[in-house]
Structure 1
Amino acid sequence: MEKHAAVVASLSAAVKHYGALTALDGLDLMLHRGELLALLGPNGAGKSTAISLLLGLVRADAGRVELFGRNPQEIDARRRIGVMLQSASLPPTLRVSELLRLTMSYYPAPRALEETAQLAGITDLLSRRYAALSGGQQRRVQFALALCGRPELLFLDEPTVGMDIDARQKLWVAIRRLVAEGCAVVLTTHYLEEAEALAQRVVVLAKGRVLSEGSVDALRSRVAMTRIRCISDLDAAALSQWQHVAYAEHDGAHLHVHTDAPEKVLRRMLDADPALSELEVRRAGLAEAFTELTRDNEAEKEAA
């Protein structure tokens, strides 16, 4: 992403209440052209509310919300976005090609049907009725509907739920192509490996505020843990008591150890078990960083 890429949408000190519940508490968020932003957080963090404000589905109680420099309620701004939500109610008797043509008719300059189908990987589904598709196939069709209008900003809410590994990988390729074309993408997902593979920037929300923001590498660097995986007869419970070991457990034949001093722990493990084999050492991933950040936030709240 260019350092000064254009801002396509923003929340500035956005506040949203639902009765006594504060869903957003002065949230600042910017989305840039050609950027994939992963919006993460535990349930109730404010992710859905933030997206609903940007989509113009709800109004902020305070603060400013802009979509392409306009009020998100304006139809001209909303025509420049695409949306794939967690669930969608679509006419079940229509064929996929009919759904695409209907959706394309709402946009001034949509992609061609064939281009949309190829990009979303649904060319073989065009003649089939939507209701006859599997859950994973329906998700691919929903993705096609989200991108057929040639959006400048695409919202993807848990896009790969129900997809098999092959379909998920193909969707990742399509998302990367859209970003390369200059489309901004907002991704929410519980598959943290998906965010790790795709995101250029990650924003972690908690209680309606930004808990952490930065690149995947920047967030991972905040967690000093390293993962060790091997085959060993060492006792996991005893290992958990070692200095510099956060925890250890057996998963089938493999022993998993998390440590903040891998060299010291590995040297001691090899001394204790010379037969140790199939050794793998990996730095903490986004999943560990996310867990650590949210755990620290909860601990701070309890101490307050």
Structure 2
Amino acid sequence: MTKHLRIGLVGAGPWAGMTQAPALAGHPAVTLSGVWARRPEAGAALAEAHGTTAFTGEDGLDALFEASDAVAFSVPPDVQAPLAVRAAAAGCHLLLDKPVATTAEAARETARAAEQAGVASVVFCTLRFAGSTAAWVGEQSAAGGWFTAHAQWLNSLYASDSDSPFAASPWRREKGALWDVGPHALSALLPVLGDVTEVTAARGPAGTTHLVLRHATGASSTVTLGLAAPEGAAGVSLVLHGERGRAELPDGWGDPVASFRTAVDELLDAVRTGRPHPCDVRFGLRITEILAEAESLLGA
């Protein structure tokens, strides 16, 4: 590894342009080693904007891996998983987006590839790296004694007046809120309440999904997920109830660029120390397994 960790970026969509690319290009301990995208023109534009090299084609992807110590991904999860397997086989550490994959088998292959290659990994579940929410999750996990939790992730992404660039995402249209915002809820619930031991799932209006979860600590949680809620109904909340009363997830997740830089910092630490990160590919695999079980119960 060079003095600066060389991190390549796979993907050049809206999230890459808004978050990953500026975070990597502006990180003092990182060199953005290049950009590869399925749309070469988008990759070239993003690379030029951040003063790095655009790699194109299948040979270009391998060349990006060769020029990098780690790879950050900003592509649909069904694309991410097999590319991450290739990156790990090339010896690159992994900075993955959530969810890791959209099938448990693909997520297992990714986790297996990382383990076999001995590379570090971090999955960018946003609220686990945003300052106030990450601290809250850590505090509630340490406190313990929680009896139940209620989480709601409702977005108006598909409202008629929505101008979100993510509304055009084919994988979000296909997989829905369960896979898009479900990882956010699980990334907070699992470290606080323990692993999920039982899943119940039901459909609600406009593609909404309802989950009832039993956790290893004996606690239970309910989760409501949606991408097509009326604008007035949209919002995020997570409330815990237990021996110490009530605790609520803080509002606002801060600047996603700053949160992604924190994820980079924590990947750097995992690389240097060899200690697995708590939000690594194995944690991402567990989230994928839970989502896949819920999906099967819904008959999707």
Same fold (TM over 0.5): no
Greater percentage in strand:
1
Larger Rg: 1
Greater percentage in helix:
2
